[in-house]
Structure 1
Amino acid sequence: MDFGNEFDQENDLTINILPMIDVLFAILLFFVLSSLILSSNRVVEINRPKATTTTTIGSDDVIVSIKKDGELFINSEPSNQTTLLNDLSIITQQNASKKLLIDAEQTIEYGVIFSIIEKAKLAEFESIGLVTSPQTKARK
Protein backbone atom coordinates (compact mmCIF):
# COMPACT_ATOMS: atom_id res chain seq x y z
CA MET A 1 0.00 0.00 0.00
CA ASP A 2 1.38 3.28 -1.09
CA PHE A 3 -0.53 6.07 0.62
CA GLY A 4 1.84 8.82 -0.49
CA ASN A 5 0.89 8.83 -4.18
CA GLU A 6 -2.85 8.62 -3.53
CA PHE A 7 -2.75 11.50 -1.03
CA ASP A 8 -0.72 13.74 -3.35
CA GLN A 9 -3.01 13.22 -6.33
CA GLU A 10 -6.24 14.01 -4.47
CA ASN A 11 -5.03 17.09 -2.59
CA ASP A 12 -2.84 18.67 -5.25
CA LEU A 13 -4.46 22.12 -5.20
CA THR A 14 -2.91 25.03 -7.06
CA ILE A 15 -4.21 28.56 -7.20
CA ASN A 16 -3.45 30.60 -10.26
CA ILE A 17 -3.26 34.26 -9.15
CA LEU A 18 -2.34 35.75 -12.54
CA PRO A 19 -5.99 36.54 -13.50
CA MET A 20 -6.49 38.22 -10.13
CA ILE A 21 -3.40 40.37 -10.66
CA ASP A 22 -4.69 41.38 -14.11
CA VAL A 23 -8.02 42.45 -12.62
CA LEU A 24 -6.28 44.44 -9.86
CA PHE A 25 -4.12 46.27 -12.41
CA ALA A 26 -7.22 47.08 -14.47
CA ILE A 27 -8.96 48.51 -11.38
CA LEU A 28 -5.86 50.51 -10.45
CA LEU A 29 -5.62 51.90 -13.98
CA PHE A 30 -9.29 52.93 -13.85
CA PHE A 31 -8.82 54.88 -10.61
CA VAL A 32 -5.63 56.58 -11.78
CA LEU A 33 -7.18 57.72 -15.06
CA SER A 34 -10.42 58.86 -13.44
CA SER A 35 -8.55 60.91 -10.83
CA LEU A 36 -6.51 62.60 -13.56
CA ILE A 37 -9.63 63.46 -15.52
CA LEU A 38 -11.44 64.81 -12.45
CA SER A 39 -8.53 66.99 -11.35
CA SER A 40 -7.95 68.48 -14.79
CA ASN A 41 -11.60 69.54 -15.26
CA ARG A 42 -11.67 71.80 -12.20
CA VAL A 43 -9.26 74.42 -13.53
CA VAL A 44 -10.21 77.22 -15.91
CA GLU A 45 -7.23 78.59 -17.85
CA ILE A 46 -6.64 82.11 -16.54
CA ASN A 47 -3.76 84.60 -16.65
CA ARG A 48 -3.40 85.07 -12.89
CA PRO A 49 -1.45 87.84 -11.16
CA LYS A 50 2.02 86.88 -9.95
CA ALA A 51 2.88 86.75 -6.24
CA THR A 52 5.71 85.43 -4.08
CA THR A 53 3.21 83.49 -1.97
CA THR A 54 0.66 81.21 -3.60
CA THR A 55 -2.65 79.74 -2.53
CA THR A 56 -2.97 75.99 -2.76
CA ILE A 57 -6.26 74.66 -4.07
CA GLY A 58 -7.76 71.83 -2.01
CA SER A 59 -10.11 69.22 -3.39
CA ASP A 60 -13.06 70.51 -1.30
CA ASP A 61 -12.51 74.20 -2.06
CA VAL A 62 -15.07 76.13 -4.08
CA ILE A 63 -13.41 78.02 -6.94
CA VAL A 64 -15.01 81.04 -8.60
CA SER A 65 -13.13 81.73 -11.85
CA ILE A 66 -13.43 84.95 -13.84
CA LYS A 67 -12.13 85.15 -17.39
CA LYS A 68 -10.92 88.30 -19.15
CA ASP A 69 -14.31 88.85 -20.83
CA GLY A 70 -16.11 88.68 -17.44
CA GLU A 71 -17.36 85.11 -17.88
CA LEU A 72 -17.93 83.45 -14.47
CA PHE A 73 -17.43 79.82 -13.50
CA ILE A 74 -18.08 78.03 -10.20
CA ASN A 75 -15.93 74.87 -10.07
CA SER A 76 -15.71 74.98 -13.90
CA GLU A 77 -19.51 75.23 -14.25
CA PRO A 78 -20.79 78.40 -16.00
CA SER A 79 -22.53 81.01 -13.85
CA ASN A 80 -23.24 84.76 -13.98
CA GLN A 81 -23.41 87.76 -11.65
CA THR A 82 -27.21 87.60 -11.24
CA THR A 83 -27.36 83.97 -10.08
CA LEU A 84 -24.00 83.92 -8.26
CA LEU A 85 -25.40 84.49 -4.75
CA ASN A 86 -28.03 81.77 -5.20
CA ASP A 87 -25.45 79.33 -6.64
CA LEU A 88 -23.02 79.99 -3.78
CA SER A 89 -25.78 79.59 -1.17
CA ILE A 90 -26.69 76.19 -2.60
CA ILE A 91 -23.04 75.13 -2.52
CA THR A 92 -22.59 76.17 1.14
CA GLN A 93 -25.61 74.07 2.09
CA GLN A 94 -24.18 71.00 0.31
CA ASN A 95 -20.46 71.43 0.96
CA ALA A 96 -18.81 70.80 4.33
CA SER A 97 -15.82 72.99 3.44
CA LYS A 98 -16.70 76.67 3.55
CA LYS A 99 -13.57 77.91 1.76
CA LEU A 100 -13.98 79.97 -1.42
CA LEU A 101 -11.13 80.84 -3.75
CA ILE A 102 -11.38 83.57 -6.38
CA ASP A 103 -9.37 82.76 -9.49
CA ALA A 104 -9.46 85.85 -11.72
CA GLU A 105 -7.60 87.25 -14.69
CA GLN A 106 -4.98 89.84 -13.86
CA THR A 107 -6.91 92.59 -15.70
CA ILE A 108 -10.26 92.16 -13.90
CA GLU A 109 -11.40 95.31 -12.11
CA TYR A 110 -11.42 95.51 -8.33
CA GLY A 111 -15.18 96.18 -8.25
CA VAL A 112 -15.95 92.79 -9.82
CA ILE A 113 -13.74 91.00 -7.27
CA PHE A 114 -15.32 92.97 -4.43
CA SER A 115 -18.81 92.03 -5.66
CA ILE A 116 -17.90 88.34 -5.57
CA ILE A 117 -16.39 88.66 -2.07
CA GLU A 118 -19.55 90.37 -0.85
CA LYS A 119 -21.78 87.63 -2.31
CA ALA A 120 -19.54 84.94 -0.79
CA LYS A 121 -19.91 86.55 2.64
CA LEU A 122 -23.69 86.65 2.20
CA ALA A 123 -23.58 82.96 1.26
CA GLU A 124 -21.80 82.35 4.61
CA PHE A 125 -18.38 81.25 3.39
CA GLU A 126 -15.98 81.25 6.34
CA SER A 127 -12.78 81.74 4.34
CA ILE A 128 -12.23 83.67 1.11
CA GLY A 129 -8.90 83.70 -0.73
CA LEU A 130 -7.36 84.77 -4.02
CA VAL A 131 -5.52 82.37 -6.33
CA THR A 132 -2.22 83.60 -7.76
CA SER A 133 0.57 82.17 -9.88
CA PRO A 134 4.06 81.78 -8.43
CA GLN A 135 6.39 84.64 -9.29
CA THR A 136 9.52 83.55 -11.12
CA LYS A 137 12.74 84.90 -9.68
CA ALA A 138 14.80 87.05 -11.99
CA ARG A 139 18.36 85.82 -12.48
CA LYS A 140 21.24 88.28 -12.49
Structure 2
Amino acid sequence: MRLPEEPDLPPQIYIAPLIDVVFALLTFFIISTLFLTRSQGLPVALPRAVTAESQKASQIVVTISQKGELAVDKKSIVIDTLPAAVREILKRNPKSVVVIQADERVSHGQVITVMDRLRSIPGIRLGIATRQP
Protein backbone atom coordinates (compact mmCIF):
# COMPACT_ATOMS: atom_id res chain seq x y z
CA MET A 1 0.00 0.00 0.00
CA ARG A 2 1.65 3.03 -1.28
CA LEU A 3 0.65 6.53 -0.19
CA PRO A 4 0.16 9.12 -2.85
CA GLU A 5 3.04 11.55 -3.16
CA GLU A 6 2.24 15.05 -1.95
CA PRO A 7 3.56 17.97 -3.94
CA ASP A 8 6.28 20.05 -2.29
CA LEU A 9 4.95 23.46 -1.31
CA PRO A 10 7.37 26.36 -1.39
CA PRO A 11 8.01 27.97 2.00
CA GLN A 12 5.76 30.94 2.71
CA ILE A 13 5.78 33.83 5.12
CA TYR A 14 2.41 34.46 6.67
CA ILE A 15 1.87 38.19 6.56
CA ALA A 16 -1.04 38.57 9.02
CA PRO A 17 1.03 37.90 12.19
CA LEU A 18 3.83 40.07 10.80
CA ILE A 19 1.43 42.99 10.38
CA ASP A 20 0.19 42.52 13.95
CA VAL A 21 3.74 42.70 15.30
CA VAL A 22 4.57 45.78 13.21
CA PHE A 23 1.48 47.62 14.44
CA ALA A 24 2.23 46.67 18.04
CA LEU A 25 5.76 48.07 17.72
CA LEU A 26 4.48 51.20 16.00
CA THR A 27 1.96 51.78 18.79
CA PHE A 28 4.65 51.33 21.43
CA PHE A 29 7.00 53.85 19.82
CA ILE A 30 4.27 56.45 19.27
CA ILE A 31 3.12 56.26 22.88
CA SER A 32 6.66 56.31 24.26
CA THR A 33 7.57 59.42 22.24
CA LEU A 34 4.49 61.18 23.57
CA PHE A 35 5.81 60.72 27.10
CA LEU A 36 9.27 61.95 26.11
CA THR A 37 8.05 65.19 24.55
CA ARG A 38 6.08 66.43 27.52
CA SER A 39 7.80 69.28 29.30
CA GLN A 40 8.10 69.55 33.04
CA GLY A 41 5.80 72.26 34.26
CA LEU A 42 2.27 73.32 34.90
CA PRO A 43 -0.17 73.46 31.99
CA VAL A 44 0.12 76.92 30.44
CA ALA A 45 -0.74 78.46 27.08
CA LEU A 46 2.61 79.48 25.62
CA PRO A 47 2.91 82.52 23.37
CA ARG A 48 3.80 81.95 19.71
CA ALA A 49 7.14 82.93 18.18
CA VAL A 50 8.17 82.52 14.56
CA THR A 51 11.88 82.50 15.41
CA ALA A 52 11.60 79.92 18.21
CA GLU A 53 14.45 77.41 18.51
CA SER A 54 14.47 74.28 20.61
CA GLN A 55 17.07 73.89 23.35
CA LYS A 56 18.97 70.59 23.55
CA ALA A 57 20.67 71.06 26.94
CA SER A 58 19.11 69.89 30.20
CA GLN A 59 16.47 72.28 31.43
CA ILE A 60 15.19 73.68 34.68
CA VAL A 61 11.63 74.77 33.99
CA VAL A 62 10.28 77.79 35.89
CA THR A 63 6.54 77.96 35.28
CA ILE A 64 4.28 80.96 35.79
CA SER A 65 0.62 79.93 35.55
CA GLN A 66 -2.26 82.12 34.42
CA LYS A 67 -3.11 82.79 38.07
CA GLY A 68 0.46 83.90 38.78
CA GLU A 69 1.47 80.73 40.63
CA LEU A 70 5.16 79.90 40.43
CA ALA A 71 6.73 76.43 40.14
CA VAL A 72 10.22 75.05 39.57
CA ASP A 73 10.14 71.64 37.85
CA LYS A 74 6.49 71.15 38.91
CA LYS A 75 7.17 72.04 42.57
CA SER A 76 5.22 75.08 43.75
CA ILE A 77 7.30 77.85 45.31
CA VAL A 78 7.03 81.53 46.18
CA ILE A 79 9.04 84.25 44.45
CA ASP A 80 11.31 84.80 47.47
CA THR A 81 12.60 81.21 47.40
CA LEU A 82 13.06 81.08 43.61
CA PRO A 83 16.81 81.87 43.45
CA ALA A 84 17.65 79.39 46.22
CA ALA A 85 15.61 76.61 44.60
CA VAL A 86 17.25 77.15 41.21
CA ARG A 87 20.74 77.33 42.78
CA GLU A 88 20.18 73.93 44.42
CA ILE A 89 19.30 72.36 41.07
CA LEU A 90 22.19 74.12 39.32
CA LYS A 91 24.63 72.63 41.86
CA ARG A 92 23.73 69.17 40.55
CA ASN A 93 23.91 70.17 36.87
CA PRO A 94 25.68 73.51 36.30
CA LYS A 95 25.20 73.43 32.50
CA SER A 96 21.41 73.47 32.74
CA VAL A 97 19.39 76.13 30.97
CA VAL A 98 16.67 77.79 33.04
CA VAL A 99 13.56 78.03 30.86
CA ILE A 100 10.77 80.41 31.86
CA GLN A 101 7.47 78.90 30.81
CA ALA A 102 4.93 81.69 31.32
CA ASP A 103 1.29 81.63 30.31
CA GLU A 104 0.60 84.14 27.54
CA ARG A 105 -1.97 85.88 29.75
CA VAL A 106 0.53 86.57 32.57
CA SER A 107 1.49 90.22 32.91
CA HIS A 108 4.80 91.29 31.43
CA GLY A 109 5.82 92.74 34.78
CA GLN A 110 5.53 89.40 36.53
CA VAL A 111 7.76 87.72 33.95
CA ILE A 112 10.33 90.52 34.33
CA THR A 113 10.25 90.10 38.12
CA VAL A 114 11.00 86.38 37.76
CA MET A 115 13.79 87.11 35.24
CA ASP A 116 15.35 89.69 37.59
CA ARG A 117 15.37 87.20 40.47
CA LEU A 118 16.94 84.56 38.24
CA ARG A 119 19.59 86.92 36.87
CA SER A 120 20.86 87.43 40.41
CA ILE A 121 22.34 83.91 40.11
CA PRO A 122 25.87 84.16 38.65
CA GLY A 123 26.44 82.33 35.36
CA ILE A 124 22.78 81.51 34.76
CA ARG A 125 21.57 80.77 31.23
CA LEU A 126 17.98 81.85 30.63
CA GLY A 127 15.47 80.96 27.95
CA ILE A 128 11.78 81.66 27.38
CA ALA A 129 9.48 78.86 26.24
CA THR A 130 7.25 79.56 23.24
CA ARG A 131 5.33 77.45 20.78
CA GLN A 132 5.82 77.55 17.06
CA PRO A 133 2.85 78.72 14.96
Same fold (TM over 0.5): yes
The 5-angstrom pairing of residues 103-114 of structure 1 reads: 103-114=101-112
Instruction: Tell me how far 1:77 sits from its aligned partner.
Output: 1.6
TM-score (norm 2): 0.65
Gaps of 5+ in 2: 1-27
Query: Counterpart in 2 of 1:62?
Result: 60
TM-superposed CA distance for 1:59, in Å, is 5.8
Per the normalisation by structure 1, the TM-score is 0.62
- Runs of 4+ aligned structure 1 residues displaced above 6 Å come to none
Equivalent-residue separation in structure 1 for 2:97 and 2:57 (angstroms): 11
1:125 deviates by 4.3
The 5 A counterparts of 1:67-106 are 67-106=65-104
1:25 is matched with none
Partner of 2:10: none
**1:131 — aligned with what?**
129
Matched-pair identity in %: 18
Return the alpha-carbon distance in structure 2 between the equivalents of residues 125 and 101 of structure 1: 14
SS in 2 for 1:65: strand
8 Å contact kept, 1:64–1:73 = yes
RMSD between aligned alpha carbons? 2.4
Gapped runs of 5+ residues in structure 1? 1-28, 136-140
Structure 2 Cα separation of the partners of residues 80 and 125 of structure 1: 22
Alpha-carbon distance in 1 for matches of 2:73, 2:56: 12
Q: Which secondary structure state, in structure 2, belongs to the residue aligned with residue 82 of structure 1?
A: helix
